[in-house]
Chains A and B, each alone.
Chain A
Amino acid sequence: MDKRTIAAAVFFSIVAVFLIFGALFMHPFGDPTEDDMDQYIIDNTQSQTGADNGVTSVVFDYRGFDTLGEATVLFTAVAGVILIFRRLKK
């Protein structure tokens, strides 16, 4: 048992104690604490956007800027993968 294994075990046990302590004292499952914004979105989806799907109207209309960032991340990942496997013709 060298020093690296002992340090890794101490770090792992500290993180495990924090996580289990946090999981046992959360608020009960099925009872969200604050839901004023989501209740406004549920009530006004059909009259303000005209879509029946609440999740699509949040992704593309109320929070469309996050979808722009996610499309950029996907584009960068595909560009990186094609760049790694490029073969230059001699």
Chain B
Amino acid sequence: MMGMSKIVKTMVSVALPLTLIYGLYIIAHGHLTPGGGFQGGAVVASGLAMLVVSYGSVWTMDRIKEKHLSSLESLGAFGFIGLAFLGLIFGSWFFNNFLLGNEYLFGMIGEGASNINTAGVIPLMNFAVGLKVIAGLFAIVLVMAYATSKKGGDL
């Protein structure tokens, strides 16, 4: 897939950091405002798909190999299951919210205490699922765009 003109490339290089910051804000504040892991991951993945469309899939595939993306996705899935098993080890049952009582790390409860330091293990799970969705959706778009170009496939 070939790239687009110089005006499109300049505007994408201005709009891409704003989209990434917006998506990471939605992932990080998932327990206070509407949003969460899946929604924020979809926003960041569509910003990276904008990169593939405007710069060309051959240019992007020369700089980002797909095995790095697949290891990032495995890291996200492993983090999610690891947090569930840590709930079994430190608590009593699977998916226990074991960070809920202490005052060091994400522990406070209370009505009207809407800062980030609340809600136990839920923000860490939001980060793991967000990383998994970002890497997975970007890998799907990149592999399918590279296979239909002249260099990558014989279509």
Contact = CB atoms under 8 A, between A and B. Distances in A.
Contact between chain A and chain B defined by CB under 8 Å: yes
Interface of A: 46-47, 49-53, 55-57, 59-61, 64-65, 67-68, 71, 74-75, 77-78, 81-82, 85, 87
Majority SS of interface residues in chain A?
helix
B120 A49 contact: yes
Interface residues of B, number: 39
Given A56-B122, A74-B132, A78-B136, A46 B31 contact: no
Nearest to A70: B38
Contact of B122 (A60, A81, A82): A60
Interface in B61-114: 66, 70, 73, 77, 80-81, 84, 95, 97, 100, 108-111, 114
Given A49-B100, A78-B140, 17 more contacts: A46-B109, A49-B122, A50-B109, A51-B119, A52-B31, A52-B114, A53-B32, A55-B34, A60-B122, A64-B84, A68-B81, A68-B84, A71-B80, A71-B129, A75-B136, A77-B140, A78-B136
Contacts of B33: 53
